[in-house]
Amino acid sequence: MLAADIESLYKNHPLRKATILERVRRMRDSLDAISELDLAFDPAAATTDQNHVGGIDFTVALAQAVALSPSKHVLDLGCGLGGSIRCLAYLYGCKGTGYDVSADRIAEADELTRLVHLENLVDFKHVDLVDRDAPARTFDVIWGQSSWTHIENKEPFMKKWSASLDRRGTIAFEDVYLRRNTEGSAERSALEQFESDSLSKVIGLKEWKRILSACSFAPTLEQDVSEQMIDEERRLIQKSQTGKDANENEKANLLLNLAEKGILGYIRVVARRD
């Protein structure tokens, strides 16, 4: 996927600084003294800075699987608005760096981070993850939530960025994955439509494990959380105010349909060096 296409996909995304802060103002009447938790929690419509499946609950679950601590430096590849690493910094006291291809998302991530006074722990850079060289042995954790699906050629991506980890570094990610192969032209067309609309390339767990092995990493956790994703998508689609526009609703319905048929799922993986 071209960087310009990804940037265009998120240009007018319904989850952005303006919509999130508007929701916070409605709830609190003011932006004075707000924290990252105000940005991350919205039980009514999920209009938060957590632009990934599962929201803050999934961020915490992945952090616990990693055994995150204040001594760690996390690199979020495809950080978007930076909600994940702000939560990690707020809850665990660790350092966080976010890279994303969208200059607009990075600018808003910076602004939101300053608003909740986490700029001493969290920083962001506008980076093309495919073309950018990775710094060697700089980070303790490589992190991704609902973002690496946009990487078409995942093996060279993982080989490059895994080299930015310390010798004891960890790869931690959650993403849509292929639970089973499609059967028949209708299922193939539906999957192709989802990949086209969301600028995604979906692969199975077996392929993810092969890629990790090629990078000298082995999974220590493989957790299918597809049912939670299905429940969330059903809940958001049913709400009259979902925080999504028509295009987002169409993608959500397509994802839900493919997930209910067992074609797509959502996986949580933690991997460490062999």
pLDDT at 244 over 60: no
Over residues 260-274, the mean pLDDT reads 97
Residue 3's pLDDT is 60
Residue 45's pLDDT is 87
Over residues 229-243, the mean pLDDT reads 77
**Beta-sheet pairing, 122-126 with 217-224:** unpaired
- The set of long-range contacts for 126-129, using a CB threshold of 8 Å and a minimum separation of 24, is 126/100, 126/101, 126/102, 127/99, 127/100, 127/101, 128/3, 128/101, 129/77, 129/78, 129/99, 129/101, 129/157, 129/161
> Taking the domains of the chain in order of start, what are their residue ranges?
3-273
CATH of domain 3-273: 3.40.50.150
Residue 255's pLDDT is 96
pLDDT at 156 over 70: yes
Percentage of the chain lying above the pLDDT 90 cut: 86
Confidence of residue 241 (pLDDT cuts 50, 70, 90): very low
**pLDDT tens, 16-60?**
999 999 999 999 999 999 999 999 999 888 999 999 999 999 999
122 within 8 A of 82, measured Cβ to Cβ: yes
Over residues 206-227, the mean pLDDT reads 98
